[in-house]
Structure 1
Amino acid sequence: MRKINFLYLLLLSVYVFTGCSTSKEASSEPAKASAWPRGITYEIFVQSFCDSDNDGIGDIKGMTSKLDYIKNLGVEAVWLMPMSPSPSYHKYDVTDYYGVHPDYGTKEDFKEFVAEAHKRNIKVVIDLVLNHSSSEHPWFKSAMSDKNSPYRDYYVWAHKDDPQTQKAGEIIAGDSDNVNRWHQVEGSDYLYYGYFYGGMPDLNYDNPKLREEVFSIGRYWLNEFDVDGFRLDAARHIFPDDRPKDNHQWWVDFKNEMQKAKEDVYLVGEVWADAETVAPYMKGLHALFNFDMGYAITNVVNKGKVDSLIINHKRIREFYESVNPDFVDATFLTNHDQNRIMSEVNDNENKAKMAAALLLTLPGSPYLYFGEEIGMKGKKPDEFIREPFIWNANAEDDCRANWVEPKFSTAQTVTPASQQSEDKNSMLNHYKTFIHLRNNSKALTYGDLQPVDVGNEKVAAFRREYQEEALLVLHNLSDNEISVSVPADLTDYNTVYFKNKDSSQSKSEVKLSAFSTLILRK
């Protein structure tokens, strides 16, 4: 087996060395090293992905028709934003936790999607919004209209004269800009708590019946639809900020219950906070999103200087490992709540490609936001960072949704995926090449991280090592060719494992083309 792996890696080196990264070649080989959840996951906003019935709204059948595209991209799982009935376009305010929004299709459609995804060895993770319901949910309507309703205690209430209702909440950057957390019920002396806004009343997890209801919801999707796990929205806010230990314990309890239904269930949580706040959630959640890394990568590619990106990433990972050695570091560039990476780098394709190269060669289990791989653009408000995917040129794109008039990503501003697939230098094939590279390298998938100083702040340099595979990764963050010396103790990294531009190596010196990546093998 070792000889086979060596030959495979040698062939891979030749393949990437020649720059032959057409979509067919980049996706034809199965993953040899990575295994989900350590693999790459693709986030999809169903409403914008693919419209199968020409009603302007993306749907489950459309998504099923694009599973081969997802498979060929090289990802090993999808995370689907909420699909349950909801009065909003984004569906983060649920009115039926056991349903599928009719705009998206039926439960049978979703079962078919999961089955077809599994045939392609693609895992399915769905968004589960457990912090709050919609104010239109039957539970809340009953609770609001009748103080004796069995659902009254599913929510959090306080009398209007209670001192806590007079306080304006703290705004947490990136999390919620809502200050008034207590909301008036017309004609009542009581207010209800809604962290995000009045249309999303928080659920009361001090109520044992509510907790059991939530366990039932999770079991339902695992058992009836065979989903592989959940992305847990607003995981930090199940209890108020002054009760963090209760938050931590809730997710331990939830994981224990979900594992009874599916032993290998996967839970990834959204805790938008600093590392010290995030760490305790690792006791109950398998994975947590690494917001700090996304910001840091964007910052260094814009500045063209590595700064402390690698050192800080190593420090935070070591801190997390001290809490849970088996944690999954869910890294990403941007997601559905943030300006798209292409817009964050001012539409500079070279910088966007470098951001992807960093994400896919640094440690972590990367998440890609749909359309990122074709360079889609977008800035807030939120509708414009969730614009429809561009599959083909306008006249022939019968799959493109049109629920919103796009402001940033059109066939005029973004080259459609079908055209990019034919261009070996496209953003799409850049992503495929680096995904393929990572999937087939144990060092890039599982290896530890060691920063390397090559004496030039425009070069991000680090080692990745796992078992017998040792790689030295060099990224030129600048728009100029750079020559650097390999440190004396690393001169045994002397075989080109990968390069995506005309970089070269001679003895202890390497020449890096502008915005290029060179990886040397020991």
Structure 2
Amino acid sequence: MTVAERKWWKDAVVYQIYPASFKDTNGDGIGDLNGILEELDYIKSIGVNTIWICPMYDSPQVDMGYDISDYENVYPPYGTVQDMERLIAETHKRGMRIVLDLVVNHSSDQHAWFKESRSSKDNPKRDWYIWRPARYVNGERKPPNNWLGNFGGSVWQWDPQTEEYYLHLFCPEQPDLNWENPETRQAIYKSAMEFWLERGVDGFRVDTVNMYSKGEMLDAPITDPGSEWQFAGYQYCNGPRMREFLGEMNQVLEKYDAMTVGECPHTPDMKRVIEYVSAKEKQLNMVFQFDVVDIGQGPYKFQTTPKNWKLSEFKAAIDRTQGLIRGTDAWTTIFLENHDQSRSITRFTSDAPEHRVAGGRMLALMMCALSGTLFIYQGQEIGMTNFGIDWDMSEYKDVDSSNYYKMVATRTNNDPTALAAAKASLQHLARDHARVPFSWSTGPNNGFTPASSTTAPWMRPLDDAAVCNAKQQQSDPTSVLAFWKRMLTVRREHKDLLVHGQFDDLDKDNQELFVFAKTWQGKKAVAVCNFTDKEVQFEFPKEVAGEKLKLLISSVDGEREGQKLAPFEGRVYLA
């Protein structure tokens, strides 16, 4: 593709905002749209040109807004549709674009559509959701299959009013919409997509995008003999009609030149991923694969110990996602954090006081040197880390965390050793760490709420704002924020090579260093990242040993001579 034909979203740097935790302007303890409006200039100053806002739609908030009761309205504590229209206009005024979350695999059980659907078996909207009769085993009523939900338990909820089960891959309050019904699909496009596209939105991050076609819904294989419910991700993802559904959705999006990035779990087959994001297939522009952020997770995510991964595994995961664009018309993404992940400094480097800044800067360098569309999550740019092991379980607000802890308690009869291990894994991997209020300053509640507010934030702010807050970092040239700004400038100046270049891992088995090359039409860059808390001597791999390499940037300030890397130092060289 020639430079002239490049789509705007390929060179985009996207900043993800979690509205509840970004900034509270009215003192009710919950972030709001006016908080985002107030900080648009801050966001732009980072070097970002697109913002992505997590669900701000009206919702009972069982799953933090991913249970939508009205696609055409805003959750009142966040603001109004008029506030959203103002936010869209102000974002565009600054030369930036705005992307919303599109959550259409399921709705809330409080959505008018579902209220009708569950009211009777002959309601016109009955078939807008997925209803099935019970199975009976030895006279006992059972759900239609053995699928395990994403938050534990069965995916089926018995509805006594009409005496059938409905499907919910997530919470019982999140019934799955029936994409097999063409009438439902058209209503989704009109209400969830066109309503906002007409108001100037530039695209969508598409939640659980590969779950719309469920296939035959047969029993999943037994992988957990101790449970009645079995992991079924390979059953309900990537079903037979996905291509058709996404093609139809894309016809709506194309009219608006709208960008899509799909959330694509449980898709190990790269050929399948390329089908989703191939330009000629006209399904999605790009997807989030979870190869990198799933590193170190157990078979059931939290069933693991902290730092349970090797650098070679991390590099192989990056190689898979970077490899999507090698010799194809596909596109890829780079991210280490989002609202569903814990903080990358804690997970992949070290949040010890002496290393957290170095770790944050090195990860910024690595991400900015990788190909694809770059996604930064709020707080990542200032190096926010996980909260401490000393925080009580009552501080974990996420349904996923509390369900896991309760499950361990039930299965082990409250065994203290098992509960301590469960808490340690949550302290490392829970989604809650991304959802704490943003640290703006050292003021009350870390500047998240107005100084005059007497209402506590909906979630406890971090204890470390004295050493990590946006206000201080904006004037500190050695900060994580200052380095993100520099690195994003470097990425823009060398975008052919760094955004579009071919990635090659030059030292796959090295468990201390990540060394990779980027090449584009005769140009070459080499990145070297030290993933240890020790000084490491390095030599350039044979593939580039003969090249004349000039240091472009280091994540450590001052003169960087020779081939000795400081703890958690990253460098980029140009050939």
Question: Shorter-normalised TM-score: what interval?
Answer: 0.7 to 0.9
Amino acid at match of 1:121: G
Q: Is 1:368 matched with 2:368?
A: no
Query: Could you tell me how far apart the structure 2 residues matched to 1:197 and 1:482 are?
Result: 47
Q: Is 1:449 matched with 2:503?
A: yes
Q: Could you tell me which of 266, 269, 282 is aligned with 1:273?
A: 266
Q: Could you tell me which of 437, 443, 446 is aligned with 2:490?
A: 437
Task: Give the direction of change, closer, same or farther, for the CA distance of 1:153–1:488 in structure 2 (3 Å limit).
Answer: closer
Instruction: Give the TM-score of the pair, scaled to structure 1.
Output: 0.83
What secondary structure, in the 3-state scheme, does the structure 1 residue paired with 2:107 have? Answer: coil
State the 1:211 CA deviation.
0.9
Amino acid at match of 2:155: R
Structure 1 range deviating more: 364-373 or 484-493: 484-493
Q: Which residue of 1 aligns with 2:190?
A: 216
Q: Which residue of 1 aligns with 2:245?
A: 250
Q: Is 1:146 matched with 2:120?
A: yes
Q: Which residue of 2 aligns with 1:29?
A: none
Structure 1 range deviating more: 488-497 or 210-219: 488-497
Query: Could you tell me how far apart the structure 1 residues matched to 2:209 and 2:434 are?
Result: 22
Query: Could you tell me how far apart the structure 2 residues matched to 1:221 and 1:414 are?
Result: 43
Q: Could you tell me which of 27, 36, 42 is aligned with 1:69?
A: 42
What secondary structure, in the 3-state scheme, does the structure 2 residue paired with 1:285 have? Answer: coil
Q: Could you tell me which of 78, 90, 99 is aligned with 2:51?
A: 78
Instruction: Give the TM-score of the pair, scaled to structure 2.
Output: 0.76
Q: Which residue of 2 aligns with 1:517?
A: 570
Number of positions where the alignment pairs a residue of Structure 1 with one of Structure 2: 478
- Conserved? CA contact 2:32–2:78, under 8 Å: yes
Task: Give the direction of change, closer, same or farther, for the CA distance of 1:193–1:468 in structure 2 (3 Å limit).
Answer: same
Q: Which residue of 2 aligns with 1:330?
A: 333
Q: Is 1:393 matched with 2:442?
A: yes
Q: Which residue of 2 aligns with 1:188?
A: 162
Task: Give the direction of change, closer, same or farther, for the CA distance of 1:341–1:310 in structure 2 (3 Å limit).
Answer: closer
Q: Which residue of 1 aligns with 2:417?
A: none
State the 1:251 CA deviation.
1.1
Query: Could you tell me how far apart the structure 1 residues matched to 2:83 and 2:91 are?
Result: 12
Q: Is 1:480 matched with 2:534?
A: yes
Task: Give the direction of change, closer, same or farther, for the CA distance of 1:455–1:280 in structure 2 (3 Å limit).
Answer: closer
Amino acid at match of 1:117: T
Query: Could you tell me how far apart the structure 2 residues matched to 1:396 and 1:184 are?
Result: 43
Query: Could you tell me how far apart the structure 2 residues matched to 1:469 and 1:51 are?
Result: 46
Deviations 1:316-367 (A, max 9, x none): 5435656xx3333122112111222244255231334333332222223221
Q: Which residue of 1 aligns with 2:94?
A: 120
Q: Is 1:169 matched with 2:147?
A: yes
Q: Which residue of 1 aligns with 2:32?
A: 59
Q: Which has the higher contact order (CA 8 A, sep 6+)?
A: 1
State the 1:117 CA deviation.
0.9
Q: Which residue of 1 aligns with 2:385?
A: 377
Query: Could you tell me how far apart the structure 1 residues matched to 2:443 and 2:144 are?
Result: 53
- Conserved? CA contact 2:148–2:155, under 8 Å: no
Amino acid at match of 1:40: V
State the 1:155 CA deviation.
0.9
What secondary structure, in the 3-state scheme, does the structure 1 residue paired with 2:10 have? Answer: coil
Query: Could you tell me how far apart the structure 1 residues matched to 2:296 and 2:111 are?
Result: 40
Task: Give the direction of change, closer, same or farther, for the CA distance of 1:500–1:34 in structure 2 (3 Å limit).
Answer: farther
Q: Which residue of 2 aligns with 1:24?
A: none
Task: Give the direction of change, closer, same or farther, for the CA distance of 1:115–1:470 in structure 2 (3 Å limit).
Answer: same
Query: Could you tell me how far apart the structure 1 residues matched to 2:197 and 2:508 are?
Result: 52
Deviations 1:283-303 (A, max 9, x none): 41111013112345999x969
Query: Could you tell me how far apart the structure 1 residues matched to 2:247 and 2:52 are?
Result: 22
- Conserved? CA contact 1:42–1:77, under 8 Å: yes
Query: Could you tell me how far apart the structure 2 residues matched to 1:334 and 1:396 are?
Result: 23
Query: Could you tell me how far apart the structure 1 residues matched to 2:479 and 2:168 are?
Result: 44
What secondary structure, in the 3-state scheme, does the structure 2 residue paired with 1:485 have? Answer: coil
Using the aligned pairs only, state the percent identity.
28
Structure 1 range deviating more: 46-55 or 393-402: 393-402
Task: Give the direction of change, closer, same or farther, for the CA distance of 1:412–1:73 in structure 2 (3 Å limit).
Answer: closer
Q: Could you tell me which of 18, 37, 41 is aligned with 1:45?
A: 18
State the 1:250 CA deviation.
0.9
Amino acid at match of 1:330: T
- Conserved? CA contact 2:17–2:51, under 8 Å: yes
Query: Could you tell me how far apart the structure 1 residues matched to 2:122 and 2:456 are?
Result: 41
Structure 1 range deviating more: 264-273 or 218-227: 218-227
Structure 1 range deviating more: 203-212 or 338-347: 338-347
What secondary structure, in the 3-state scheme, does the structure 1 residue paired with 2:573 have? Answer: strand
Q: Which residue of 2 aligns with 1:464?
A: 518
Query: Could you tell me how far apart the structure 2 residues matched to 1:142 and 1:422 are?
Result: 55
- Conserved? CA contact 2:295–2:309, under 8 Å: no
What secondary structure, in the 3-state scheme, does the structure 1 residue paired with 2:519 have? Answer: strand
Q: Could you tell me which of 456, 462, 471 is aligned with 1:418?
A: 471
Query: Could you tell me how far apart the structure 2 residues matched to 1:305 and 1:237 are?
Result: 30
Query: Could you tell me how far apart the structure 1 residues matched to 2:488 and 2:459 are?
Result: 28
Task: Give the direction of change, closer, same or farther, for the CA distance of 1:239–1:36 in structure 2 (3 Å limit).
Answer: closer
Task: Give the direction of change, closer, same or farther, for the CA distance of 1:181–1:219 in structure 2 (3 Å limit).
Answer: closer
